[in-house]
Amino acid sequence: MGLNPRASLEPVLEWRRRAGRAARRLRDRERTALPDENDLLRAFGGRHGRIDEALSELAGGGVAIVAAAGQGEMRAAYAARPEWRDRLFEAASRILEHRFDLLGSGDRGLGARLPWHADFKSGHAWNRDVPSEELFAQVAKEFGRGRDVKVPWELSRFQHAPLLAQAAWLAPDRRYYDEFRSQVEDWITANPVGRGVNWGCTMDVALRAASLATAATLFRDELRADSGFASLLWRALLAHGRFVVTHLEAGEPRGNHYLSDLAGLLLVADLLRGLPEADEWRETATAGLHAHAAVQTLADGADFEASIPYHRLTTEMLLAAVLVLERRGGDAAALRPLLRRRIDYTAHYTKPDGLAPQIGDNDDGRFLVLGEHGADRRDHRALLSVAAVLFDDPALLALAGDRCEDALWVHGPASLDRVAARARAIEPRVTSALFREAGTVILRGGGLYVHVEAGGVGLSGHGGHAHNDTLSIEVQAEGEDLIVDPGTGGYTADLVVRDRFRSTAAHNTVRVDGSEINPLPANPFRLPGIDRPSIARAVFRRHFDLIEALHRGYARLADPVVHRRILLLNRTTRRLLIEDALEGKGTHRLEWFFHLAPRVLGRIEEDGRSFLGHAGKVRFRLRADQAPEGVRFTLAPDLFSPGYGRTEPATTLCLAWEGGLPVSARFHLCVEDVRREEA
């Protein structure tokens, strides 16, 4: 057996790696440790000689993401909307009681001291004293062991902090500020800079900074009267900014993490404006956003990661950046058209019931939460409402419906009411549309909504948040989901579940020979795009829409196969035709999947080629008009994931056949009746 030169050097190489990590940690501690008050004074460049002067200047500022409306104006706005007021106070009361519903945990009390370092769902806790860089590497080795580091990250994002501040604005109750102070003090004590899980991912540091900066803006009167805590909070935010700017997630391909870093850095820089280094952060964030927002926004407005939930997240970041830059007199001219295209894409993919299809990964991520606390994270209409006021577009606000609470805080009651007055006269209408760059087609008409997915894996071919959903569809009729994408389930706690939800069989498409459209590698955040999808035809007429698309994911088989799908929506007959052609030669096993929404009930009719179902008020039929001899539908128990960490029972309609290619199959889905639901 020959010697492995690298093996003999491994002890030396490992020692060098450890020495390098130790040196980096030493430099990081010097740059990003929690500053003392002298450091805070020095950060002002000598402008203040006393800490109370520095604190007074900081408390007098605020981040420009929040409208300049007064407390009286906001209280009057909520008095006119009592359901919003009741919902907000109920949500804030849960925070006072340390009750959280995070990532599928359900409403759960977390005890007197919040478990900042624990996955409270599994009971696992990470060591708070281990350097974050080492702990982050350790976490990656623990994938599949039933623990989810996203749980402590989600809690530590402090996206509930603005809620406490909002409640304090609407009611003179000291408990909200006291709770905010208590939690922040405890978090800072339990999370020394650079140690534990909550400094391991810069994105989460940036999101926490954005939420704390927003809460500090609304709590500015309380902070003026509480110099001890104000000093601690401002110094902690200074540490957050320093950490983010020295730990930007700039590895290629740069995705939503990098955009989060920049947007969070911009907000904390805005809060600390006037400090020379904060002004430098602003320039870094602005330059980075201008350089990479265009890269991450496709020509037709979709985010480049092939995930609609991540499109919502990154669009929120870009929207916040445009607001802050424009309100401070900065240059956002290049970002505005990108944002507008993103918003138009959001308006088109939003289903008639107000929810978004779950294309790609869904981890329930948000940038800032200023309204609709506890709302279904699949509802993206709050984004439309904030953008509607920014772009002075009443049609967007009409599409948002009553999901306008975020817009109230971002723009203020007067600005929202001006646009709302015009929106009330508009009947919202969205047409069918092709988004060729994204590979997305939306068909609408006759009470039907169809989402067709024919795009690549995104993220420059890396496929970090994509699923094997090529040529998959979602169908809704009269606001009722009929055929759905089952969602995500979760990420790394259970890798079997992870792969199950991103597999071909978890989508409304065709599987050949049990193979995946794109191979599923061991890396749970990688999906190599070999399927080469394309949209061959897109025809939009008054009475019908027709789409033809194909992919070559099965071209790698010993006998290559191309899957071609045609969809024809007839608005007059309220019928959707689905025609599949499997082109190739040789014998293959084909499987069709139609994932029924959880509310769908029904039965397969005697001939085995027709399913009669109902969902709420909608009665529909899905029939195999043309299919290979002997094919019959079967119903299989399955799962649907409405959000990260949550699953519920559902049913999948399946069809399997084995034989020689080429072969084709034709299905039609028609709405047969729409009734009022029984009380």
User: What confidence score (pLDDT) does residue 31 get?
Assistant: 56
Structure tokens at 572: 């007059």
Alpha carbon distance 377, 355 (integer Å): 8
User: What confidence score (pLDDT) does residue 29 get?
Assistant: 52
Residues near 356 by beta carbon (within 8 Å), at least 6 away in sequence: 308, 309, 312, 346, 349, 350, 378, 379, 380
* Nearest alpha carbon to residue 473 among 589, 362, 348, 357: 357
User: What confidence score (pLDDT) does residue 23 get?
Assistant: 46
User: What confidence score (pLDDT) does residue 1 get?
Assistant: 35
Average pLDDT over residues 435-456: 97
User: What confidence score (pLDDT) does residue 673 get?
Assistant: 80
> ∠ CA(335), CA(341), CA(343), 5° rounding?
100
Average pLDDT over residues 418-424: 97
Alpha carbon distance 595, 509 (integer Å): 10
Q: Is the pLDDT of residue 2 over 90?
A: no
* Nearest alpha carbon to residue 378 among 630, 188, 105, 644: 644
Largest CA distance in the chain: 87
Q: What is the mean pLDDT of the chain?
A: 94
Distances from the Cα of 673 to the Cα of 22, 273, 391, 624, 670, angstroms: 69, 60, 40, 19, 9
618-639 pLDDT tens trace = 999 999 999 998 899 999 999 9
Exposed, middle or buried: residue 423 (CB in 10 Å: 0-12, 13-18, 19+)? buried
All domains in the chain, ordered by first residue:
39-279 (no CATH), 293-428 (no CATH), 433-674 (2.70.98.70)
150-198 pLDDT tens trace = 999 999 999 999 999 999 999 989 999 999 999 999 999 999 999 999 9
DSSP assigned state of 252: S
Q: Is the pLDDT of residue 11 over 70?
A: no
Q: Is the pLDDT of residue 479 over 50?
A: yes
282-296 pLDDT tens trace = 999 999 999 999 999
User: What confidence score (pLDDT) does residue 493 get?
Assistant: 97
Alpha carbon distance 527, 530 (integer Å): 9
- Write down the pTM of the prediction: 0.94
DSSP assigned state of 403: -
User: What confidence score (pLDDT) does residue 150 get?
Assistant: 98
DSSP assigned state of 254: P
User: What confidence score (pLDDT) does residue 428 get?
Assistant: 86
User: What confidence score (pLDDT) does residue 267 get?
Assistant: 98
Residue type, 550: L
Exposed, middle or buried: residue 568 (CB in 10 Å: 0-12, 13-18, 19+)? middle
Per-residue confidence band for 12, with pLDDT thresholds at 50, 70 and 90? very low
Q: Is residue 42 helix, strand or coil?
A: helix
Contact 246, 202 (CB under 8 A): no
Residues near 516 by beta carbon (within 8 Å), at least 6 away in sequence: 468, 503, 504, 553
Contact 219, 256 (CB under 8 A): no
Q: Is the pLDDT of residue 337 over 50?
A: yes
DSSP assigned state of 35: P
Average pLDDT over residues 654-665: 97
Average pLDDT over residues 216-243: 97
Q: Is the pLDDT of residue 542 over 60?
A: yes
Q: What percent of the chain has pLDDT over 70?
A: 95
Q: Is the pLDDT of residue 24 over 60?
A: no
Q: Is the pLDDT of residue 17 over 80?
A: no
266-319 pLDDT tens trace = 999 999 999 999 999 999 999 999 999 999 999 999 999 999 999 999 999 999
**Residue appearing with tokens 């009746």:** 673
Per-residue confidence band for 561, with pLDDT thresholds at 50, 70 and 90? very high
* Nearest alpha carbon to residue 642 among 94, 91, 101: 101
